[in-house]
Chains A and B, each alone.
Chain A
Amino acid sequence: MIETERRDKLLRAMLDELALAGYEEASVERAQAAAGVSEAEFGVEFADKDACLFAAYDHLTDQVVARASLHCGHDKPWPERIRDGLEALLEELASEPRLAWALTRSFPGIRPAAYQRYVELLGRFIPFMREGREYSEVDEELPGEVELLAVGAAEAIIFGEVDAGRAERLPQMLPEILFSVLVPFMGPDRAADEMRSAAASI
């Protein structure tokens, strides 16, 4: 059994390998060396490279969701909580561009089963969106999947920046990403108000 600290280091090192070298060239041996984990210890915990990579991705996504949700407390109106959670997420991705790349680009691209994990990650943000329905400016019911639409809007812009190698710019894009997240729930005028307020606070 590898203790938590070295296990975390190993998982992190595997994602670094994936981001830097790509799936085929990602080296378990280099990750083990970086974390100070022996081959025997690795073998007890993981069947192979894939098992370690999938565990690393699950660990990373747990951390990302937990940090974003930490900033989505209940002490503020919903649009502000979404802004705070989004801000935390963007700062985290910007501070670790390699992990941002592994999270959005290289791991989901390994094969269809890995992509399914990415779909599941997006689904984990849906509960944060539900309260947005109370902010609609129309009496009619919003589409049944409006929460996923909001998550998808943010994902598309974040993916575009990470893919272009500009992850460090993400925090500056908070206002426009916030607009795209809020607009299905609040309409363009009120979403733009929130966008301006976010821009003023940067």
Chain B
Amino acid sequence: MSSSWVLPAVSERERLLRATAELWRRDGYEGLSEAAICECAGVGQESFERMFANVEEAAGAVIEVPLGAVVEVVGQQYSADRSEAESYARAIAGILELMAANPDYAYVVYIAGRQMAPPEVHRGYESGHRFLVAMLERLWGSSSAAEQPARAGLGALGAAEALVRREIAGGRFERLPELAPECVFAATVPFLGQREALRLAKSVAT
């Protein structure tokens, strides 16, 4: 059997995606090139070209990796035995654990995809963002507020993300799980009020 049939322990695609994320975090989008990605991944350019039309397509695929993982975390924390808000609180804590364990992808999804991406790739970031805003706005169903201000979900998510982005920009990835109580408070207070948001925040304190 030819040695080329032996499957690598980690697929070439995964190595290319990880290398793209690593370089994107280190050098920004302008620093990405097919040659640099391939060298960092230890993969030949012909493999890159088989999987991606260009760097932009690879960057778009990189964004999809953490977004897919986030959707999975949210789904895992959903339970009929918990209120929707409690499920979200646990999902937020889970997302922060996920990001702490994957610094390059965390940088890409929170900072690079938002600020350092061409329009097509940026749209991938936006769709993930819209998913999370819509998730939070479902909490209006549990709210006693007389009014539902427009963009309250965007503001709530933005509040939590500002804190997360500050730590990521500072390279303090290991601190992300500690932010769970503050992020839960931020994400729920417009809908559930201060008292309930503080209770939920305490429920995820480590």
Contact = CB atoms under 8 A, between A and B. Distances in A.
Do A and B pair up? The answer is: yes
A105 B115 contact: yes
Contact of B27 (A24, A111, A115): A111
Contact of B156 (A123, A140, A153): A153
Contact of B25 (A109, A112, A116, A123): A112
Interface in B26-64: 26-31
Given A148-B166, A157-B154, A138 B198 contact: yes
B140 to A, nearest CB: 10
Interface stretch (A10-18, A52-60, A69-77, A188-196): A188-196
A152 to B, nearest CB: 2
Interface string A139-154: 0101111101111111
Nearest to A175: B149
Q: 3 closest A-B pairs (Cβ-Cβ)?
A: A156-B158, A152-B162, A180-B155
B146 A152 contact: no
A192 B30 contact: no
Interface in A154-180: 154-157, 159-160, 173, 175-177, 179-180
* Interface SS majority for chain B: helix
A180 B182 contact: no
Contacts of B182: 143-146, 149
Contacts of B26: 112
Q: Which interface residue of B26, B146, B194 has the most chain A CB atoms within 10 A?
A: B194
Contacts of A184: 159, 185-186, 189, 194
Contacts of A105: 115
A26 to B, nearest CB: 12
B65 interface: no
Nearest to B147: A192
Contacts of B25: 112
A40 interface: no
A149 B163 contact: yes
A105 B115 CA distance: 6
Given A112-B26, A184-B186, A152 B194 contact: no
A119 interface: yes
30 contacts: A110-B116, A112-B28, A115-B115, A115-B116, A119-B166, A123-B166, A136-B194, A138-B195, A149-B159, A149-B160, A149-B162, A150-B159, A152-B160, A153-B159, A154-B155, A159-B158, A175-B149, A176-B150, A176-B151, A176-B152, A179-B152, A181-B155, A183-B189, A183-B190, A184-B159, A187-B193, A188-B147, A189-B193, A195-B149, A196-B147
Contacts of A110: 28, 30, 116
Interface string B121-160: 0000000000000000000000101110111101111111
Q: Which interface residue of A136, A175, A192 has the most chain B CB atoms within 10 A?
A: A192
B94 interface: no
A105 B162 CA distance: 15
A109 B31 CA distance: 12
Contact of B190 (A23, A143, A179): A179
B111 interface: yes
Nearest to A151: B162
Nearest to A193: B147
Contact of A192 (B27, B146, B165, B185): B146
Nearest to B198: A140
A33 interface: no
A66 interface: no
A112 B28 CA distance: 6
Contacts of B143: 188
Contacts of B191: 188
B116 A155 contact: no
B69 interface: no
